[in-house]
Chains A and B, each alone.
Chain A
C-alpha cells in the first residue's frame, strides 16, 4: 500500500526545515551547517522510501495526493510521480546534501542565508518534478528562480550581478511565454471539458485534439521556455556566465538539476500534450540540439577558464538529451532520461572538483595550472575519473546514455535520417578532445606556477562528497537496469501517447 502523503512530506520537510534554519541564532555557523545537512539528508531518506515503494510495472502516476485549492477554477494541489520524475527527485535529494557538504569551508559569509536558499531551492526543484497541476507547477517553477538568483548574486564571483540578472531575465522571459500558453491551453480545453482546469492529466486528453495551427503555437511557447532552461542552442549564453559566477554549490545544482527541468518539461509536457506539433518540429529541434552538441564542444575546447569549459560541455551534453527526446524511440527516450541523471553526476562531479581546487588556488585559469599530478594525486585521480565519465567511456555512466540516445535516434521513425546520428556521434570525438586537453594542461607536465607547490590534496570531507557520486557513475555504467527499469513504463507511455495520434508513424 503506497502512502499518499509521502510526496507532501518530501516537500514539507525541507520547507519547514528551511524556515527552522532562519530562527537559529546568528554566529553559530556550524550548527547551521549541520542542520542543513541533516534536513537534506532526511529528505534524501524520504525520497528513498518513494523509491522502495515505487511500482515500476505501473506506468501511471503513483503516490498521488490531491486536494482542492481554488475551487472556482478547478485548481488543486495535485502531486504524484512516475518513473522519470522519481529518478529526477532522487537526483535532487541526492545532490543537495552533497553540495551542502562541499560548501563547508568554501562559504564563509552569511552561512545561514546560504543554507536557507539552498534548501528552498531543493523545495522548488522537487515541486517542479512532482506537480501534476499546471498552476502548482508554475508556482514552483518560478519560485525556484528566486533562491538561485540570490545564490549567484550574493555568493558569486566578480561579475555576479551581471550573471544573475542575465539568468533571471532569460528564464523569466521563457516562463512568461509558458504562462501564456498554460492559460491559453486551459481556456481552450474548457470548451470540450465544460469547465476550466489546470489538471495536467485532464489536459493530456485535450492537448492532442487541439487543431494543428494552434497546437503549434502552444507547443512553441512551451518548448521555448524549456529550451532556455536546457539550454538549447542558441539560447545558451546565460549558462556560461551563470556557471562561472555561481559558487560551487550553485553550479552543481544548476548543472545537476536545474537544466534537467527543461528536458523534463519537454518529456512531461511538450511530447504528450502536443504530439502532432512535437513530430512536426522534431527535425528542427533536433538540428538545434546537434548544433549544440558540436558547437558546445568546439567552444568548450578553446576556453581558458576551466569552469566555463565545463559549462559549455553542458550545452553539448544536454544536446544529446534533447536529441534523444525528439527521436521518440524507446531506446532514445530511456537514454535521454538516464543521460539527465548521468549529466547531473558527471558534471556535478566536475564542478565539485573545480571548486575543490579553486578553494586552494583561487584561480580558474587553465594556464595557471600544470603538473599538479605530483602535488595532489588523489585530486588528479578524481578529476580523471569524472572526466572519463563525462567523455562517455564504456563501463562508466555517460556511455550508456549516449549510446542509447544515438542508437535510438539512428532508428528513429520521426527523424528518419541517419545524418542526425552521424553528426551527433561526432560529438563523441570532440568530448574527448576538450576534456583530455584540459586534463593534460591542468594535471600533467611540470609545475610552472610556484604557488601550486604545497597545496593540500583532497581532505576526508571532500572525498566523502565525491565517493557516492563515483559509486553511481560506475553503477550506472555496468548495471544501468536498476535505473532504466524505473523509468521504463513511463517512457513507454510517453511514446504511446505520441503515437496514439500519429498512427502513421507506428512501425
Chain B
C-alpha cells in the first residue's frame, strides 16, 4: 500500500475538483437534501479512503525493521534548473505517517460532522470542495520529500484557510468583515513564508539541494559553521511562527474563527497550525545543530503558551477561548522541540488534535443549538439540552487540563518533564503555571456553558445535534481518552516502554545525538513534578467550579479590583492595535501620500512632463523663426553663405 501513498494526495484533489466543478449541478439535480448527502459523502469519502491507505501503509511500515522504514515514492520532476532538482516525490516514514494519519483521520471525522453542521448552507458544495483542497495541501506538506513540495503545501494551507475563513464572505466579523479576517490570515502567514523562503535559499546555498535526505545527511557530514545553522534555523522558525501562530505572528489565528466552526476544528486540530511543529521536527537535525536557536524556540514557545493562556482567562466568545488555547498548546509543542524533545512535541500534537477537534466540534454543536450565539455569558445549563455534547466536551476539557489517565496528561506531562530535565526549573515552572491557567479557563468555559442557571432568552429552544454530528464527537472523545496510552512514560512502562517514542526514535536519532542528553534525574523528581502539576490542575478545576457555579460574584469582583489588568487581557494586550499603529498604517499612509501622490505623480512625472513642456516652449520659440516671409529666409541664407565663406577662408 505504501507505494500508493500518492493516492492520499490525489483523492482529496479529485474530491476538490468534483465538488468544485459539479457541486452546484449535483445539488440542483437532486431533490431535497439528497444532493447535500451526495456532495458531503464524496467529500468525506475521499478523505476516509485516504485515511485507510495511510493506515495500511502504517501497518506495512510497522512490519519493516526499525532502521529501514523510509519509502520514497517519486511521481515526476517539478523544477529542474542548474543544480536545482526538485520532484513531486513523497516520503513515507515514521513521522510523515503519524502526520498523515492525524490529518486524514481527524480530517475525516470533521468532514462527516460538517455534513450535519453545514446542512442548508447555500455554499454547501463549495465548503466541501475547499475542505478537500485543504487536506490535499496538508498532505503535500507532511508527505513531501523535499522543502519545495513542503512549501507547496505550506502556502496551499494558507490559501485554503483564506478561502474558508472568508467562506461567509458577506458577513460581518468583529470590527470588520470575515474577508478582513481571511486576508489577515493569508498575509500574516506570508510574512512567515518569507522567512521560510529565505531559509530554503540558505539551505540550497549551503547544501546544494532541497531534498530532505540529502540536506539532512549533509548537515551531519559537512563541516559547516554554527552561525550558518543558526541563520537557517532562525529563518525556518520565522516560517513556523507564522503558520503555527506563535509570538509575534499569532494574530491571525483568533480571527480565523470567522469561518464556519468545522473549519476552525480543521485549522486548529488536524491541519495548518501543526505544520510549523511538524516542520521543526522534520528539520530536527538543522535545529539541533543550532543550539542558540533551540533556546529561542523554547523561549518563544513558553512565552506564547503563557501569554495566550492569560488572554484565554477572560474571553467570552466560546470560539475565541478555544483559539487562544490552541495558541497556548502550540507553545507547549515548540517548548518541547526547543528542549530537544521532538517526539514529545509530536505526541502532544497528536493528542491535541483529538481533544481540540472535539472542543471545536462541541462548540459548533452548542453554537448550532443556540442559533449562532457565541457568547458564553449568554449560555448556561445547557447540559440538560445537549447531554452528548456536554459529556464529550467535559472529556476534552479534562484531557486538555492534563488529568490522568486522559491523553493530554501523558503528552503534556512528557513536555513538562523534558522542559525541566533538558531545560531549567523556570521553564518547568512557567509550563506548570500555564497548565493551571489552562485548566481554569477550560472549566470556566465548561461551567458557564453547560452548568448553572440558564442565561439565554426563553425564545431560544436549544436541542441536541443530530447523530451525524454527535457520533463524531463520541469518536473523538474516545480518542481523547485512550490516545495517550501509546506514549506512557518510561517510569511507568519500563525501559523502552514508550511506544510512541520508540516509533519516532529513528527520525530524531541524529538530532538527539547532537544534543546534550539530560543528566541524572531521579524517578522521585519526575513523579514529584508530575504530582504537583496534576494537583495544581485539579485545584484549578475545583476553583473554576466554585466560582462559576456557586460564587459568580467573585469573578466580577476580581475583574473590578484589577480592572487595568483585566482590560489588558480583555483587549488581548492590544497587539492588533499596536501592529496597526506601527506597521500597517505607516506603510499604507506612506505608500498613498508619499510614494504615489508625491514621488510618482509629482517628482518623477514632474520631471518627465516638465522636460516635455520645456521642449514645447523651446519649439514654440523656434517656430517663430519660420515666419513664411521669403525675404527673411533669403537674408538668413545669405548670412549663412557669408559665414561659411569666412570659415573656409580664415578658418584654417
Contact = CB atoms under 8 A, between A and B. Distances in A.
B505 interface: no
Contacts of B202: 410
Contact of A404 (B81, B155, B169, B600): B81
Given A437-B183, A445-B169, A421 B201 contact: yes
Interface in B102-117: none
B608 interface: yes
A428 interface: yes
Contacts of B198: 421-422, 425
Contacts of A123: none
B194 interface: yes
B608 A394 contact: no
A425 B81 CA distance: 20
- Main secondary structure, interface of A, reads helix
Contact of A429 (B151, B191, B590, B599): B191
Contacts of A298: 587, 590-591, 595
A237 B605 contact: yes
A335 B194 contact: no
Contacts of A480: 78-79
Contacts of B600: 237, 299
B170 A446 contact: yes
Contacts of A49: none
A227 to B, nearest CB: 14
A429 B169 contact: no
Interface stretch (A22-30, A56-64, A207-215, A326-334): A326-334
B369 interface: no
- Main secondary structure, interface of B, reads helix
Interface in A431-480: 432-433, 436-437, 440, 443-446, 478-480
A428 B170 contact: no
Contact of B169 (A238, A303, A373): A373
A400 B148 CA distance: 10
A411 B205 contact: yes
Contacts of B587: 298
B82 A334 contact: yes
B79 A403 contact: yes
A334 B169 CA distance: 39
Contacts of B590: 298
B205 A410 contact: yes
A429 B187 contact: yes
A407 B203 CA distance: 10
Interface string A389-411: 00001110001100110111011
A236 B122 CA distance: 46
B556 interface: no
Interface residues on B, range: 35 or more
A493 interface: no
A136 interface: no
A339 B169 CA distance: 32
B644 to A, nearest CB: 27
Contact of A407 (B204, B592, B595): B204
A371 interface: yes
A301 B612 CA distance: 29
A426 B604 contact: no
Interface string A358-394: 0000000000000101100000000000001000011
Contact of B151 (A236, A394, A443): A394
B336 interface: no
B613 to A, nearest CB: 12
A440 B183 contact: yes
A234 B156 CA distance: 35
B169 A407 contact: no
A65 interface: no
A289 interface: no
B580 to A, nearest CB: 14
Interface in B133-170: 148, 151-152, 154-156, 159, 162, 166, 169-170
Contacts of B554: none
Interface residues of A, number: 55
B588 to A, nearest CB: 7
Contacts of B265: none
Contacts of B84: 331, 404, 407
A234 B179 CA distance: 34
A335 B80 CA distance: 11
Contact of A237 (B186, B191, B591, B604): B604
B492 interface: no
A187 interface: no
Interface string A296-333: 00110111000000000000000000000000011100
A294 to B, nearest CB: 10
Contacts of A237: 600, 604-605, 608
A98 interface: no
B588 A301 contact: yes
A484 interface: yes
B277 interface: no
Contacts of A408: 82
A433 B155 contact: no
A295 B604 CA distance: 13
Nearest to B603: A234
Nearest to A394: B152
Given A302-B588, A303-B596, A481-B77, A394 B156 contact: yes
Contacts of A422: 198
A170 interface: yes
Nearest to B191: A429
Contact of B179 (A374, A399, A411, A445): A445
A480 B78 CA distance: 7
A169 interface: yes
B10 interface: no
A429 B194 contact: yes
B413 interface: no
A484 B600 CA distance: 36
A121 B457 CA distance: 71
B322 to A, nearest CB: 25
Contact of B197 (A335, A428, A440): A428
A244 B480 CA distance: 59
A325 B232 CA distance: 26
A410 B202 CA distance: 8
A478 B78 contact: yes
Nearest to B136: A395
B205 A395 contact: no
A302 B592 contact: yes
Given A374-B170, A421-B198, A425-B198, A444 B80 contact: no
Contacts of B596: 299, 302-303
B177 A428 contact: no
Contacts of A440: 166, 179-180, 182-183
A404 B79 contact: yes
A238 B151 CA distance: 37
B81 A331 contact: yes
B190 A432 contact: yes
A444 B170 contact: yes
A313 B304 CA distance: 36
Contact of A330 (B82, B154, B178, B605): B82
Nearest to B605: A237
Interface string B610-621: 001000000000
B612 to A, nearest CB: 6
B77 A406 contact: no
Contacts of A374: 170
Which one of A169, A237, A374, A400 has the greatest number of beta carbons of chain B within 10 Å? A237
B93 interface: no
Contact of B187 (A302, A403, A411, A432): A432
20 contacts: A295-B595, A298-B590, A299-B600, A329-B82, A331-B83, A334-B82, A373-B169, A393-B156, A394-B148, A394-B151, A394-B152, A394-B154, A395-B152, A403-B79, A428-B194, A432-B187, A436-B187, A440-B183, A444-B170, A481-B79
3 pairs of A and B residues whose beta carbons are closest in the complex? A330-B82, A444-B179, A302-B592
Given A295-B595, A429-B191, 9 more contacts: A166-B608, A298-B590, A299-B596, A302-B595, A331-B82, A331-B84, A428-B193, A436-B187, A445-B179
